[in-house]
Amino acid sequence: MNDIVDPVVRLTDVTRSFEQGGVKIDVLRGVNLEVRPGEIVALLGPSGSGKSTMLQAIGLLEGGFGGKIEIAGIDASKLGKDQRAAVRRDHIGFVYQFHHLLPDFNAIENVVLPQLITGKPRTECDARATELLTALGLGARLEHRPSKLSGGEQQRVAVARALANRPHMVLADEPTGNLDEATADKVFAQFLALVRGEGSAALVATHNERLAAAMDRVVRLHDGVLT
Ligand SMILES: Nc1ncnc2c1ncn2[C@@H]1O[C@H](COP(=O)(O)OP(=O)(O)OP(=O)(O)O)[C@@H](O)[C@H]1O
């Protein structure tokens, strides 16, 4: 991990509106949040409350936000598209509800690819991917393509991919929402243990109060603000 900056993420009065059928909807109405290094925060809120929109804001995936978003001390609101992509690459890892693995690449290759983009030598990327996948219990599945893995295994590969570049911040959007309860519990416990072991901070959107209770802190999105 690069030098740690405290807070890892700071949102100041972040706003986001969408037009739907000619009607303006204010989804985020002034969100304020600070996440400390290594802190694992649950983001709860009803369906449609804006959890994914908030993760997209922090992940610098889209423009169109009001307010200030700072990632590792960098004010992202002032950056262009390429600079935002660089901040994302250097500081953020994503896990989605659906794994989004590349189907034509095996597990280890899926974890190696985001590392190669940073210019790291292939042998180092392979070693890091093997370390992460083994820690997640996938040491015997390294060369399996996603279609040859179970849903829980696919999601674990996605977790390894998110952590590959040692991000300061992991953003997870319902990371186990697509799994049955028993598998979800197991994968989530592995996710938490690995993120803690790596020392990354995380913001995890979930509907699941039980999973939320296992995290360091819970924030709730309601009427466009955090409570
Ligand atoms: N690109 C878009 N264009 C128009 N409206 C959008 C867009 N993205 C999100 N919205 C609207 O913003 C609101 C919040 O959506 P969002 O997906 O962030 O909620 P959520 O809390 O993540 O929901 P869920 O728990 O169901 O995933 C919804 O009303 C949604 O329809």
pLDDT tens-digit profile of 30-62?
A: 999 999 999 999 999 999 999 999 999 999 988
Residue 87: what pLDDT? 93
Instruction: Name the residue of 14, 31, 49, 219 whose CB sits within 8 Å of the most ligand 1 atoms, as the mutation to test its pocket.
Output: 49
Closest to 174 (Cα-Cα) out of 194, 197, 158, 163: 158
Q: Considering its fold, how many domains does the chain have in total?
A: 1
What ipTM was assigned to the predicted interfaces of this complex? 0.96
Is 73 within a domain? no
Element of type H or E holding 173: strand 169-173
Is 10 within a domain? no
* Atom 9 of ligand 1, nearest CA residue: 53
Indicate whether 1 pLDDT > 60: no
Is 81 within a domain? no
Question: Is 200 a pocket residue for ligand 1 (Cβ < 6 Å)?
Answer: no
Helix axes 181-198, 151-163, angle to 10 degrees: 20
Indicate whether 213 pLDDT > 80: yes
Is 112 within a domain? yes
Indicate whether 2 pLDDT > 80: no
Question: Is 139 a pocket residue for ligand 1 (Cβ < 6 Å)?
Answer: no
Instruction: Tell me how far apart the terminal alpha carbons of the chain are, to the nearest angstrom.
Output: 31
Structure tokens at 128: 């890091």
The CATH number that applies at residue 164 is 3.40.50.300
Q: Residue 95: CB partners within 8 Å, gap ≥ 6?
A: 155, 158, 159, 162, 170, 171, 172, 173, 175, 191
Distance 84 CA to ligand 1 centre (A): 22
Question: Is 48 a pocket residue for ligand 1 (Cβ < 6 Å)?
Answer: yes
* Atom 27 of ligand 1, nearest CA residue: 47
What is the DSSP-derived secondary structure letter of residue 76? G
Name the phi and psi angles at 182, rounded to 5.
-65, -45
Is 27 within a domain? no
Structure tokens at 217: 């802190």
Q: Measured between alpha carbons, how far is residue 190 from residues 39, 118, 156, 186 in Å?
A: 16, 26, 8, 6
Distance 47 CA to ligand 1 centre (A): 8
Task: Give percent above pLDDT 90 in the chain.
Answer: 88
Query: In which domain, by residue range, is 208 found?
Result: 37-62+91-226
Task: Please state the pTM of the whole predicted model.
Answer: 0.94
Cα–Cα dist 179/63, whole Å: 31
Question: Is 115 a pocket residue for ligand 1 (Cβ < 6 Å)?
Answer: no
Is 105 within a domain? yes
Q: Nearest-5° angle of CA 51, CA 71, CA 52?
A: 10
Which spans in 3-145 are helix H? 51-58, 81-91, 107-116, 122-135
Question: Is 88 a pocket residue for ligand 1 (Cβ < 6 Å)?
Answer: no
Residue with tokens 């009803």: 46
* Atom 6 of ligand 1, nearest CA residue: 18
Distance 177 CA to ligand 1 centre (A): 16
Query: Edge-to-edge strands of the sheet including 74-75?
Result: 23-35, 9-20, 66-71, 74-75
For the chain, give percent helix, strand, coil, nearest 5. 35, 25, 35
Is 79 within a domain? no
Residue 195: what pLDDT? 96
Instruction: Name the residue of 52, 98, 178, 222 whose CB sits within 8 Å of the most ligand 1 atoms, as the mutation to test its pocket.
Output: 52
Q: Residue 180: CB partners within 8 Å, gap ≥ 6?
A: none
Is 158 within a domain? yes
